[in-house]
Amino acid sequence: MKKLYILALAACLPVSSVMADEAMIIAAMTVVSPMMQEVAPGAAGVAFTECVVAGATPEELAMIAAATGPNETIGALISAILARPETIACATEKLS
């Protein structure tokens, strides 16, 4: 099931992000998900997590994946990614 989820997420990612390896995507989602669940529990948190990971550049994804857990720097990065028009469009589509 996890592989299917990753493949589905990869299909939504821009070409540059698809180059990020599966382990990095999983690690980034592990960091982003609890932060999103705190502000938007349930399906909304899942949607925001997917959109943040999809909207992150490979460099941002690597930075998030390397984090040992939520912190101010990662929170600021995630907020910046959430503010991007493409991330907002992603969330709007998933939550509609």
Backbone angles phi, psi at 17, to 5 degrees: -75, -25
d(CA 61, CA 52): 9
| pLDDT value of residue 22 | 87
Contact 23, 10 (CB under 8 A): no
Helix (H, G, I), strand (E, B) or coil at 96: coil
| pLDDT value of residue 23 | 87
- Residue 59 banded pLDDT, cuts 50, 70, 90: very high
Query: What is the mean predicted confidence (pLDDT) over 41-60?
Result: 96
d(CA 24, CA 13): 13
Which distant-in-sequence residues (6+ apart) come within 8 Å of 16 by Cβ?
A: 57, 58
| pLDDT value of residue 2 | 45
